[in-house]
Structure 1
Amino acid sequence: MFNLIEDFLNREERRRNRSLSKRFRTWLASDQAQAHVQKLERTLSKPGGEDRAVQILRKAEEAYKADDAYRKQDNKRKKSLKQFQKLFEDWLTTDKGAPYQNQIIGAETEEARALARLDAEKAFARANPHLLPLDYMDGSKTRIRPVRFGFPKDVEELSFDVIEPGLNQIGLVGANILRNWAKIVGTALAENTRPERISFPPKGRTNGTLFIKARQGFNTIIQHNSQEILFRINSHFGFKAVSEIRISKRYFDEAETTGQQIARTVISKRVQPAKELAPNVAAMVDGIKDPEFKKAFEELGKVIKARNG
């Protein structure tokens, strides 16, 4: 049966007008390629299975390339780990590594010795992060975790990832235009305009038409600066996402600005808190032991009493 596969490989070489690599032929004889070889045997044993065998051979070549890439990466990983261990052993003999070496030698049990060695490896890795091998950089195998710096994020950044899929469905390119509208067009236009939607040509995600809702009197400004807006949008994305700008006929809602209108509405509805709590509310608040909670509920009760008259 192997002669059948060998004849097929020879015919494939003549068809391609080039030889298959010796390493690939050797790989076909290994245990990792047995599934592909068995498929080739079954297909070639059937009449008219030559075309199907060609497809199976191409899949086998792809599997060989993936296996070869993994093997090279594994060899590189082992080499980097070996180099790291050698440098680590040399570091233990220096003045900086001597205290850790003494802890390792002075450990009474194997477990304590392993922990001392792990502490020494961490100290060496922190001092030489550029020498970390691939095993230590892989998050799934990390024994020495590098120092990570966390930065606070706005609620907008955290919540926008949740609503982004829905925004994509209404035609916004990655929802980035709506999210970064103020950065793209500037504060003045952002407070008086709002991107509504983008319509793309059939089966395309470029050269779209952007519809903008604008406050009364800003239509002319948008038309006059349309080329600059187009340039800023496309520069933001790095490709020609939008090729035309149109003014939407929908009404521009004041609440869609930076929130100043909403803030004014909230402030206008504020009431002056009452001077004292209602008797039933005061009895409930007296049972709260935490002083901060008690103060917060007292302020809330006075506001509610003032609103209820």
Structure 2
Amino acid sequence: MANEPKTFARKREMQIAEVANGIIDPVLARRAGISTALLGSWDEIAGEEFADCSRPEKIAWPRRDASDEAGGYQAGVLTIACEGARALFLTHAQGELIARINAFFGFPAVRQIRIVQKPVSHAVRHRRPLPPLKGEAARRLEDMMEGIENEALKKAVTRLGTAVLQKKR
């Protein structure tokens, strides 16, 4: 027993994004009340109309009152930065946007949106579209999407399926 070789448990490999999110998320949550998941999913939440001109900045949660007997949860106010005149259009679409945000969180996290007009960085917005699938992969994706009638859902599933079924380089 004394001469047995030691075995070491292997640590699982982590992507740099996991490490960075683990460091950044607590700071974002404390300072702005948001997470990297919300920031990363903003293009899908805001939709094509507002993804390029807006970004979430912070969620202000109401302070809990010690005398509040219910002691329950209260939804917050999401501040969104939006560029120029598009802020007016975002104001008109805020009911739908609140519904999308709450669907993303899975509970009524946001009750109101506050829009501030300011420039929004476009540095991360330029993603190259993936080339379309060919051959067997394209047929598999088509078979999986059979029966989906909603065009927006079909487009999202196509994007996801293309990314998943794409051959690694």
TM-score computed with the length of structure 2 as normaliser: 0.54
Paired position in structure 2 for 1:242: 110
Assess, with a 3 A threshold, how the Cα gap between structure 1 residues 205 and 256 changes in structure 2: closer, same or farther.
Answer: farther
* Matched-pair contact (CA < 8 Å) for 1:190–1:257: no
1:244 counterpart SS class: strand
Residues in 1 aligned to 2:19 and 2:35: alpha-carbon distance in whole angstroms: 15
Q: How does 1:1-309 map onto structure 2 within 5 Å?
A: 155-203=16-64, 206-249=74-117, 251-255=118-122, 258-259=125-126
2:59 counterpart SS class: strand
Residues in 2 aligned to 1:187 and 1:198: alpha-carbon distance in whole angstroms: 22
1:222 counterpart SS class: helix
Assess, with a 3 A threshold, how the Cα gap between structure 1 residues 193 and 253 changes in structure 2: closer, same or farther.
Answer: closer
* Matched-pair contact (CA < 8 Å) for 2:55–2:120: no
Assess, with a 3 A threshold, how the Cα gap between structure 1 residues 187 and 161 changes in structure 2: closer, same or farther.
Answer: farther
Answer with 225-234 or 170-179: which moved more: 170-179
Unaligned runs of 5+ in 1: 1-149, 261-309
* Matched-pair contact (CA < 8 Å) for 2:60–2:76: yes
1:216 counterpart SS class: coil
Assess, with a 3 A threshold, how the Cα gap between structure 1 residues 180 and 205 changes in structure 2: closer, same or farther.
Answer: farther
Paired position in structure 1 for 2:165: none
Q: Residues 16-58 of structure 1: CA distance to partner in whole angstroms, max 9, x if unpaired?
A: xxxxxxxxxxxxxxxxxxxxxxxxxxxxxxxxxxxxxxxxxxx
Structure number with higher strand proportion: 2
**Given residue 246 of structure 1, which amino acid in structure 2 is its aligned partner?**
R
* Offset, 1:157: 4.5
**Given residue 78 of structure 2, which amino acid in structure 1 is its aligned partner?**
L
1:186 counterpart SS class: helix
Q: Which has the higher contact order (CA 8 A, sep 6+)?
A: 2
Residues in 1 aligned to 2:124 and 2:47: alpha-carbon distance in whole angstroms: 13
Q: Residues 179-213 of structure 1: CA distance to partner in whole angstroms, max 9, x if unpaired?
A: 32112122442211011111111037641011111
Q: Residues 114-169 of structure 1: CA distance to partner in whole angstroms, max 9, x if unpaired?
A: xxxxxxxxxxxxxxxxxxxxxxxxxxxxxxxxxxxx9x986544422221111001
* Matched-pair contact (CA < 8 Å) for 2:82–2:120: no
Unaligned runs of 5+ in 2: 1-11, 65-71, 128-169
Aligned length: 109
Residues in 2 aligned to 1:256 and 1:172: alpha-carbon distance in whole angstroms: 23
Percentage of identical aligned residues: 28
**Given residue 119 of structure 2, which amino acid in structure 1 is its aligned partner?**
F
Give RMSD over aligned pairs: 2.8
TM-score computed with the length of structure 1 as normaliser: 0.31
Assess, with a 3 A threshold, how the Cα gap between structure 1 residues 156 and 210 changes in structure 2: closer, same or farther.
Answer: same
* Offset, 1:236: 1.1
Paired position in structure 2 for 1:19: none
Residues in 2 aligned to 1:229 and 1:214: alpha-carbon distance in whole angstroms: 13
* Matched-pair contact (CA < 8 Å) for 1:168–1:175: no
Structure number with higher helix proportion: 1
* Matched-pair contact (CA < 8 Å) for 1:211–1:248: yes
* Offset, 1:258: 1.1
Residues in 2 aligned to 1:228 and 1:256: alpha-carbon distance in whole angstroms: 27
The structure with the larger Rg is 1
